[in-house]
Chains A and B, each alone.
Chain A
Amino acid sequence: MTGRKRTENEKKLFEKLMTYQENVFRICLGFSKNPWDAEDLTQEAYLKAYRKISSIKNSRLLREWLFRIAKNSCLDYSRKNRLSRLFQLKFGNEAVEKNTPESLVAHMEQLQILKKSIRQLPNKHRLVFILREYGHLSYQEIAAVLRIREGTVMSRLNRARQAIINYMKGKNYEK
């Protein structure tokens, strides 16, 4: 699929897609535990986009199409790494504790708790939360990517935020 030569139009479309790389990276960061995994996920998303670029019917919806691919790649990643993630998190913490000053350790711990709380969310809430808080997409854009109504986006976002707050309170975040 990547072997086929691209037309001029497809190349232009792909160049336009490349301008959204930081947006895609932010979304992938919400799903991954560190920036390097997020970068790998971003690459995966772009590769899939490259393979499927000939299927784009409406170039105006390019951004939305790309974010949808990124979302699907991230969900696949979450599914595959469910078990290994817990194991790796432990090692991650140890590394931080050995090498960084106390304040940074505290910050990293809080971040780990936040990440865990995001992962605890049901998929539909997690998607909305990450697209909004990490991807900085508007409600309209989120609704278009997920193919749901704006009202649904707002209610899911509300629930996601509340769940995260409750989780972090439970883990004594306020200390």
Chain B
Amino acid sequence: MKNNGSQENFSKIKYLILKEEEEALRIFRKSNFRSQLAERIKSESKKGSSFPFWLKKPIPALGICLLLFFLGVIAFISIFIPSPYEKNLKSIEKFLRQTPGYQRFVKNKVEDVIILTMDNEYSELEWAIKRVLFSIYKETLSKKDLPTIIAQIFLNLPAEQNEEKAPIIMEDYNILNLDRKIEALKKRKKVYHFLLTFSKIKREEV
């Protein structure tokens, strides 16, 4: 009985659907479906693909991934790989630590040294030496102090300064002695170039 009731109900629903279809097909048959479709196909073929391939999801996603990858590489290089400037700094520091007067220099302070003033601009080498000395000495050194401090290291000058003595003037600096001393170190190119540059600065001052 229940089944018959359901079937009867459903036959009414089927009748509704049938009526709807009849009405809809009447409207559909009146419209010129074929020609409308042909027109639409024609207009689409003229337009071409409205959605450019480079806007489809995989391509922007791939672009973003590549961009992130290159940004990561750049960040890695800038953080972990030292710049040539830092490399120079480290090599100078390493070299200075090997010099005989280094320990004494670290303990004693350089004071009241007068030298000829040089121009205010630092060369790359001078900047490097300044930073290394700052890391050791923990005080900001002026440009005029740098050569004297280096000289102390290489020439084993006494650390204490006597106030009554005449100030050290670079014109009196014995360049020949330095040249001889570095003769032995000629095999090490970096050291040689460093000291040569240093001695050139001194010659120019003179």
Contact = CB atoms under 8 A, between A and B. Distances in A.
B44 A47 contact: yes
Nearest to B44: A2
B24 A38 contact: yes
A42 B40 CA distance: 13
Sorting the interface of chain A by its residue count into under 10, 10 to 19, 20 to 34 or 35 or more gives 20 to 34
Interface in A46-75: 46-47, 50
Nearest to B27: A35
A22 B48 CA distance: 29
Interface stretch (B11-19, B139-147, B157-165): B11-19
A25 B24 contact: yes
A107 B24 CA distance: 15
Contacts of B14: 133
A29 B21 contact: yes
Contacts of A38: 24, 28
B45 A2 contact: yes
A164 B13 contact: yes
A133 B28 contact: no
B19 A107 contact: yes
A165 B9 contact: yes
Contacts of B28: 22, 25, 35, 38-39, 42
Interface string B23-57: 11101100101101100110011101100000000
B34 A114 contact: no
Given A29-B24, A47-B44, A42 B10 contact: no
Nearest to B17: A133
A78 interface: no
Contact of B25 (A25, A34, A107, A169): A25
A95 interface: no
Given A2-B41, A47-B37, A22 B17 contact: no
Contacts of A123: none
Interface string A1-38: 11100000000000000100110011001000011101
B123 interface: no
Contacts of A25: 24-25, 28
Contacts of B44: 2-3, 47
A39 B31 contact: yes
Nearest to B26: A35
Nearest to B33: A21
Nearest to A30: B17
Interface in A107-139: 107, 110-111, 114, 133-134
A174 B5 CA distance: 12
A162 interface: yes
A161 B17 CA distance: 13
A39 B17 contact: no
A105 interface: no
Given A43-B33, A114-B16, A161 B48 contact: no
Interface string A149-175: 000000000000110110011000110
A9 to B, nearest CB: 17
B78 interface: no
Interface of B: 6, 9-10, 12-14, 16-17, 19-21, 23-25, 27-28, 31, 33-34, 36-37, 40-41, 44-46, 48-49
